[in-house]
Amino acid sequence: MQTLFAYLDAGSGSMIAQILVGGFAAAGVAIKMYWKKIKGFFSRGDDEATPAAAKATEASADESKPS
């Protein structure tokens, strides 16, 4: 059996912490970029009618405003 000696100094710990923080930041950016696709993947398909309903609501609100 061979004995291995490893030394982790403060620089190594800092590097490991930086890798972890960078990984979490990258995951957050990736989720933010693809959020609509992720949300659409898990939705039941009701989101297709939502934009039309939102436009209808906005149109009725615009008609009721005094000019």
Could you report the per-residue pLDDT of 19-48, keeping only the tens digit for each? 999 999 999 999 999 999 989 988 887 555
User: How high is the pLDDT of residue 18?
Assistant: 96
pTM over 0.75: no
* CB under 8 A, 24+ apart: contacts of 45-54: none
Three-class secondary structure of residue 1 per DSSP: coil
- Which of 13-17, 49-53, 61-65 bottoms out in mean pLDDT, i.e. has the lowest? 49-53
Look up residue 49 and give its DSSP letter.
T
Q: What's the whole-number average pLDDT of the chain?
A: 80
User: How high is the pLDDT of residue 5?
Assistant: 81
